[in-house]
Copies of this chain bind each other. A is one copy, B any other.
Amino acid sequence: MTTTVARFSQLFIPTLKEAPADAQVASHKLLVRAGFIRQLGAGIYDYLPLAKRALTKIEAIVREEMDAIGGQEFFLPALHPAEIWKESGRWEVMGDNMFRLRDRKNGEYCLGMTHEEIFTAIARDELRSYRQLPQVWYQIQTKFRDEPRPKSGLLRVRQFTMKDAYSFDVDQAGLDKSYEDERRAYEKIFTRCGLDFVAVQAHSGAMGGSASQEFMVRTEAGEDLVAACPKCRYAANTETATSRIAAEQDGPGLPSPEKFATPGVVTIEALSQPPHGVPARRQLKTLVYMADEKPILAVVRGDHELNEAKLQTASGAQLLRPAHPEEIPPLMGARAGSLGAVAFAKAPVFVDPALAGRKDMVTGANEDGFHLRGVDVERDLLRHGKVAELRTVKAGEGCPRCDGTLDVFKALEVGHIFKLGTKYSVSMKANVLKADGSETPIVMGSYGIGVERIMAAAIELHHDQDGIVWPLAIAPYRATVLTLGKEPELVQAAEEICAALAKAGVDVLYDDRDERAGVKFKDADLLGIPIRIAVGKRGLAEGKAEWKRRGTKDVELVPLAEVAARAAALVARETGVGQA
């Protein structure tokens, strides 16, 4: 990106009066209206010049912070031979999310969704000794995911740019340090990009590994849910968050479960009504899932909600899905609505900790139209079952770390860091020699940032009714200049300001179009350019121009000769760097 004066009249900035009918979220509406993006297909977008400029600035920030922690930039293929994904076992795991294709010789390939396999293969082939470690490798590269329901503009797409980094250490202590380096680099990146974010505990999903954190931006446009404690700053994705809930007082129960008829009663709600009147919190909800195509049972309290991500973690499954209705009776002896896990030995049973110690509970009898009462969780389920976090926390529940109360809000993930451990190095045999001469699998971490996501998240956070309000660091242009009228002296002053801005390293969009000032003001607001300089007759008479910061209401008169230096100082202060 060269710092020259860009003339609006010559640029391709196809603004629109209306947002597309299907656009729901602010970033989608504004990116289309302001001429940043166009849709090519479902979840596939053209990035037009303004977007490319913003993305280039985001990438420059990411690159600087990756380089600052010793990251070495690679550029790896998007087209991957199937074999390498079969080695790690993820050729199957990725299912329909992976784009697959065959070449002219009928060889199997996929489009890379992520690059653990490829980077691990390089490490395996090229790294021999602990002396070569640590290594931090990254790239900024195009990824493909066949998202089932692309939507929300750039928030759920099928092709996107990702900064993915991978760390390689000889031991866990090394990984801990690499992970911490990345975590801090991520904090700097998001801060520099103007994002308020929260780092939360997260679910590792198909990535595997022992620990992970997501970097979340709080916005209604997000599709994740975060539980956070305002008091102690505990924060976790609801896929892993836990909470304190009030203890329940149970009666003594029965010496053993007792079957009773519940004809037609197949929901928690129905059983809570007369004639049975069993409160939901005294019921057990039993759900059948297929974990890597083998059945498992999940048991939560009647009024609680199962979290599938937690069940996946508990079961260790790579692929988890609810059992199909027809799969249930052969296993359970009854249909959904009459299921229970009392003395059930035909599949692993996972029981939520909120049920630990509960007595006198009611559950399905595994016989259509019957339930059991007097169930003692310890006695009847936990001899064969396992306690595991399964429940989705709710707002208003107690913080698991302090006496605060949890808030639950929607959030948008902009980054995710994982301690992978040896998941990939073991399956793909990426070993190095330790100092004592023995072989050890490399201990890995994986760290991802969605580049377009940062752009969209910045807009979700920073916009108003008139348009985008770009953070200075990632704005497509940092300043825009226009005249209030067409008099030659105004034009001359504007051109001089533009030249001075460019010379000071501030990239400027000169709105030289043959349009009324009102139109130009509106477009400057829509495009969201942070610094707006307007040259009018009144101000010019005093040797001044109007200075306005996008997102504020104040217009200041600034001496012409000071505009460029003032803008440059602002850029330096708010971006921590010169021009990208």
Q: Answer whether residue A49 sits at the interface, using C-beta atoms and an 8 A cutoff.
A: yes
In the bound complex, how far is the Cα of B104 from the Cα of A250, in angstroms? 50
Contact B81 A40 (CB under 8 A): yes
Name A71's closest neighbour in chain B (CB-CB): B49
In the bound complex, how far is the Cα of B49 from the Cα of A70, in angstroms? 12
A146-B103, A159-B78 as given contacts; A40 in contact with B118, CB under 8 Å: yes
Contact A73 B52 (CB under 8 A): yes
Considering only residues 96-122 of chain A, those with a C-beta below 8 Å from chain B are 96, 99-101, 103-104, 109, 111, 118, 121-122
Q: Answer whether residue A68 sits at the interface, using C-beta atoms and an 8 A cutoff.
A: yes
Task: Select which of B47, B104, B122, B125 is within 8 A of A76 by beta carbon.
Answer: B47
Q: A125 — which chain B residues lie within 8 A by C-beta? A: 38
Q: What is the 8 Å Cβ interface bit string for chain A, positions 35-77, against chain B (1 contact, 0 not)?
A: 0001011001111110111011000000110011010111111
- Among A12, A47, A84, A161, the most chain B Cβ lie within 10 Å of the Cβ of A12
In the bound complex, how far is the Cα of B302 from the Cα of A527, in angstroms? 67
Q: In the complex, how many angstroms separate the beta carbon of A453 from the nearest chain B beta carbon?
A: 15
Q: In the complex, how many angstroms separate the beta carbon of A131 from the nearest chain B beta carbon?
A: 9
Q: Answer whether residue A10 sits at the interface, using C-beta atoms and an 8 A cutoff.
A: yes
Considering only residues 1-46 of chain A, those with a C-beta below 8 Å from chain B are 1-2, 4, 10-12, 14, 38, 40-41, 44-46
Q: Answer whether residue A426 sits at the interface, using C-beta atoms and an 8 A cutoff.
A: no
Other 15 A-B pairs with CB < 8 A, given A12-B132, A49-B74: A1-B73, A38-B125, A40-B81, A41-B77, A44-B77, A44-B81, A46-B118, A47-B74, A49-B73, A52-B74, A55-B75, A78-B142, A78-B159, A79-B111, A99-B101
A-B contacts, 20 of them at CB < 8 A, read A2-B64, A12-B137, A40-B80, A40-B118, A41-B81, A46-B76, A47-B75, A47-B76, A49-B72, A49-B73, A52-B75, A55-B75, A79-B99, A79-B111, A79-B144, A99-B109, A101-B111, A103-B158, A104-B146, A142-B142
